[in-house]
Structure 1
């Protein structure tokens, strides 16, 4: 029998809607029937973990990956890919925030408040200018490009990977979670990034975004603040969101 769902509190969890017309989804706590809201994990067989992010009873992401117990970081969260990409399991379900640019606004705020080490977003020029002003003193480096009335920004922290993350723990987890032919190149790539930073390597360097798109998945996932056990589950497929 599978283990029970365990809630992992995370301040990124969107608040429940104030609008009484929004109908809660089907996900309920099995013991009390309360509407689920947050990130939940449960152990599965074969050293696997199942993870679901739920907003007001609606599953926004639901996946399996290998257990990676050594590594943790406040910059990494199951909500980061969900809120950066606007993920939903059921396309008919409501979303936590309302307008077309809500993912971009969430990424911009997450970068400012240290919830994500790197990301890209597009905002109206006045909102982008406000973001530039707020970013002073945060350690963020950015590249901006105008497109009509919109501004596209790619931003990331100048802090080095070796100071941002416990790379020893993460590398050990990868080596244990994946077969050697998959794990060893990813571990080597993480080690090679120890003295680099997201800003230096993927914003200020020549062809930075192309370089980022070609980086190993373990590096891309970590740079975006995505959970490594989710990234490990995707490595064979070779795909990861932005």
Structure 2
């Protein structure tokens, strides 16, 4: 007969039931050992551990050592391949082309010069130019002297009424007369005014300091 009890199916044959046998398999019997039995069990476990541990340890050590040696070998081979490629490349580019140190330096200079623009082949939208060895023009990022954000040097001050400012241009030095302008403010509804030069200190010539000049 097939019956069900709590989702477990079992068979009854007369007076013999397999349900009890099934539940007996699920029980966890906790053994009650005396001190002698515990000592024997510990001794057996320790002897098995001492017999098995050296073999397992040696196997793990051998595996790790082999893996490390393979990694080192692969790295060394890759490094050697890199050195060989560099050697062949340098040999092909320098010696087979009959380059020498002096020719290499001159070739490098020519390459740099070919990558840097000068005032002859670029529009003069920027004015402040730094000359390096009289051959390379580096544009800092300033505008023309007629626009704001230009960088110049105050040459003379005349009775606090106007100043003479010089601006470096590609074609030379340009002098401009800068007079005071009336500046209006709005402070809590009032509108004070003040005359001042439209100039601002530029202590260091860097791009981020020229962006906020007025």
Bigger relative contact order, structure 1 or 2, given CA contacts below 8 A and separation 6+? 1
TM (norm. structure 1) is 0.19
Structure index of larger Rg: 2
Larger helix share, 1 or 2: 2
TM (norm. structure 2) is 0.20
